[in-house]
Amino acid sequence: MPFPETLNAHPRVIFFTDFDGTITLQDTNDFITDQYGMGKEARRELFHAVIDETDTFRNTFQKMLDSWKMPFPQVLDILRDNITLDPHFKDFMVWARAHDVPVIVLSSGMVPVIETLLRHLLGEELMSDIDIVANGTQLRAPGNSLDKADGWTIKFLHDSGFGHDKSLTIRPYADAIAKMERNDERPTLLYAGDGVSDLSAARETDLLFAREGQDLVTYCEKAGIPFTTFSSWESILQETRDIYEGKKTVKKLAEEGLKRHRTNSIEQNGHVKPTVK
C-alpha cells in the first residue's frame, strides 16, 4: 500500500529496505559493472567520490550503467543466473505477513530488475506483499530498444543528486507520525541497507540496520548516525521482533549495535575508529 494507506492500517512497524546487497547477497549493479563493465577498481573509485562528497551517486551510477553495453534482456538473464537471496529474507517476509508489517523496497536500481529477481527468488505470493519504489528504464538513441545495447538506459525517479532520493519516500511517514497525539499509535520506522545508495535514507528512520563491513557503516560512523549492524536477515528478524513485541527499544538496539561493531573493529584491526558526534 502506498502512503498514506500504509499508515491508515495502523501497523506497529514499517520496514523500509534497500534491495541490492541487502535483500540479495550480491549487488546486481556492482556485479554487472565488475564482470561486464568498467571493472571493480574503477567502480570503487566512483563510490569513494560519493562518500567523500566530491561527486553525486546519480553521476557515478550513470557512468556504471553506460559501461555495461549489453541488451537489457541479457542483463536480466545474467542476474537470474548469478544473484542469490539472503537465506533468511523469506523467513522475515513470512513473519511480516503474519504480523501485518509493511515492507517497502527503496532501491536505486531499476524496477524491472527487482521484480524479475523477487519473482525468481522469493516467489509471486510473498513478492505481492512488497511495495517497490525504484528507478525505471527508458529508451534512448541510437538503438531505441531494450533489445539493443545502445538502445536503453536508466530513468531516474528524481532530479536530485541521488537519482532516487529515498528520503523523499520515508519523510512523509515520519512527518505524519510526528503529528500523532498518542505515542502508542506511532509505528516504528526501520531501514536496512548496505551502501552509498542508502545515504539519503540513513537519517530518516528510527533505527538503521547497516550490513557489516560495507560502505554504509563507514558513512554512519563518519556522520554520527545511530545504527546497528547485521550480517543476515536472521538478526534483522530477531531485532525487529523484539521491537514489535516491546522487548527492546530502538535506542537499546543502537547501543548494542555500536558496541558490537566496536568490538569487531578491535578484533579485526586492533583499534577503534571513533564515531563522529
Instruction: Point out the residues that are catalytic.
Output: 18, 20
Backbone angles phi, psi at 137, to 5 degrees: -120, 160
Q: Which residues pair with 24 in a beta bridge?
A: 85
CA 156 to chain centre: 16
Partner residues linked to 190 by β-bridges: 15, 207
- Pure H helices in the chain: 5-8, 28-36, 40-51, 57-66, 72-82, 89-98, 111-121, 124-127, 167-178, 215-223, 233-244, 250-269
230 exposure class (CB count in 10 Å sphere: 0-12, 13-18, 19+): buried
Contact status, residue 57 vs residue 29, Cβ threshold 8 Å:
no
